[in-house]
Amino acid sequence: MTILVTGGAGFIGSNFVLDWLAGSNETVVNLDVLTYAGNRQNLVSLTGDARHVFVQGDIGDTTLVTHLLNTHQPRAILNFAAESHVDRSILGPSEFIKTNVVGTFNLLEATRAYWGNLPDDQKAAFRFLHVSTDEVYGSLSPDAPAFTEEHPYEPNSPYSASKAASDHLVRAYHHTYGMPVLTTNCSNNYGPYHFPEKLIPLVIHNALAGKPLPIYGDGSQVRDWLYVSDHCSAIRTVLANGKVGETYNVGGWNEKRNLEVVKTLCALLDELSPRADGQSYASQITFVRDRPGHDQRYAIDARKLERELGWKPQETFETGIRKTVQWYLANQAWVANITSGQYRQWVDTQYT
C-alpha cells in the first residue's frame, strides 16, 4: 500500500511524513516542488529508507502527477502543498493563486482521471484528503464562539481566499463526481521544522540573534495554537475513519494573544539559554506596523473530531512550546542553513 503526500518537505508535511513512517510501513511518495519553504534537510533521517520516495515536482504538473499516480497506485492522496505565509500573500498574491487554486485544481483533475479507472473496491476505498486552515472562516470578535464546521467562509487575505477556493473545489469534486474527499481545517501549528518567517520560530531566531522581536500592531490578536504532531495525528485519524465528503476542524483550545506568546517564548529562553548580559529577551520586543487586514482572532471548535472520531491532542500549549524552544536550541545548524540568502531578502522586504 502507498500514499501520496504533497508538500512533504515543508513544515507540517515533513512532520507528517516522519510521524507516518515512525508508525507504519506503508510507502510514502512525497511530491514537493521545493520552494523556499521546502527543505530536504527535514527528511534527512529517511535517507536510504525505501519506504520514502521523494519526487521534486509541482502539484500543478498534470503529466508528472498522472505518471506518479499510474506508477505508484496510491490508495490515498494527502494534499499539504501550498503557499502558506499570509504576509507573503499580501506582498505577492500570484504564487498563491498558482499553487493553492490552480495547482489544487490540476491535482484534482489528475486524481479524478486516476480514481475513475480504479476497480470498484479500490475506488470506494480511495481518499483525497485536503489539508486546509481555520483562516478560511475569517476573523472572530472577542466573545464570539469558536469556529465550527458550519461557520460561513469569510476569508480576508489573499492566502486565506486562495485556500478557501481550493476547499470549494475539493467539495465540488465530491458533490459532482462523487470523489471520496475529506477536508481538515486546522488552527495555527507550531513545533520542529517551522520556517522562521512565522511568528514563533521567527521570535526564537531573532531573540538568539540579538535582533528585535517584531509585534504587529499592539499584539492583541489571538491565535489558537496546536503542536504539529497533534495535527499529524488528527490527519491520520480523519484519513482512517473520516466520513467521505465531510470537513473536520482541528484545534487544541489554546487561544493566546500574540504578545502573550512572545513573552512566554522570552521567559523560556531566559530559563534555557539566558542572555550573557543577564537581561531578559523581553527587552528585545518591538512594536511594528500592523499587518494590513490583520485578522483579530481565530479559535477552533474541534468537538466534531473528538465526538465522531475520538481524536484529542496530546500536548498542552505549555508542554508543546517548551519542546519547541528546546528543539530550536538543539537544532541551530538547521536554522543557520535556511536563514541565509533568500531568507534575509525576505526579512529586509517585510520588516524595513
Q: Which amino acid is residue 33, in one-letter code? A: V
- Residue 1's CB is within 10 A of a number of other CB atoms, namely 11
* Binding of ligand DAU by 249 (CB under 6 A): no
* Only segment of 58-66, 123-131, 211-219, 341-349 that touches ligand DAU (CB under 6 A): 211-219
Task: Give the CA dihedral 208, 214, 219, 224, nearest 10 degrees.
Answer: -60
* Binding of ligand DAU by 226 (CB under 6 A): no
Tell me whether residue 120 is one of the annotated catalytic residues: no
Tell me whether residue 216 is one of the annotated catalytic residues: no
Q: Which of 32, 135, 301, 315 binds ligand DAU (CB under 6 A)?
A: 135
Site string for ligand NAD, 88-127 (x = CB under 6 A): -----------x---x------------------------
- Quick one: 107 or 266, whose CB is closer to ligand NAD? 107
Q: What is the DSSP string of 243-284?
A: PTT-EEEE--S-EEEHHHHHHHHHHHHHHHS--TTS--GGGG
What is the nearest approach in angstroms of ligand DAU to the Cβ of residue 245? 22
Would you say 215 and 286 are in contact if contact means Cβ atoms under 8 Å apart?
yes
Would you say 311 and 305 are in contact if contact means Cβ atoms under 8 Å apart?
yes
Tell me whether residue 348 is one of the annotated catalytic residues: no
Question: In which order are the strands placed within the sheet that holds 255-257?
Answer: 188-190, 222-227, 255-257
Q: Which of 37, 202, 234, 265 binds ligand DAU (CB under 6 A)?
A: 202
Count of positions on this chain that bind ligand NAD (CB under 6 A): 31
Site string for ligand NAD, 47-76 (x = CB under 6 A): -----------xxx----------------
- Quick one: 184 or 237, whose CB is closer to ligand DAU? 184
Return d(Cα 92, Cα 67) in angstroms, integer. 31
- Reported as half-sphere exposure (CB side, CA atoms, 13 A), residue 35 has a value of 19
Site string for ligand NAD, 10-39 (x = CB under 6 A): xxxx-----------------xxxxx-xx-
Residue closest to 101 by CA, chosen among 166, 188, 33, 8 = 166
Provide CB contacts within 8 A for 98, sequence distance 6+: 60
* Binding of ligand NAD by 169 (CB under 6 A): no
Residues making contact with ligand NAD (CB under 6 A): 6-7, 9-13, 31-35, 37-38, 58-60, 80-84, 99, 103, 131, 133, 163, 186, 188-189, 195
Q: Which residue numbers are catalytic?
A: 134-135, 159
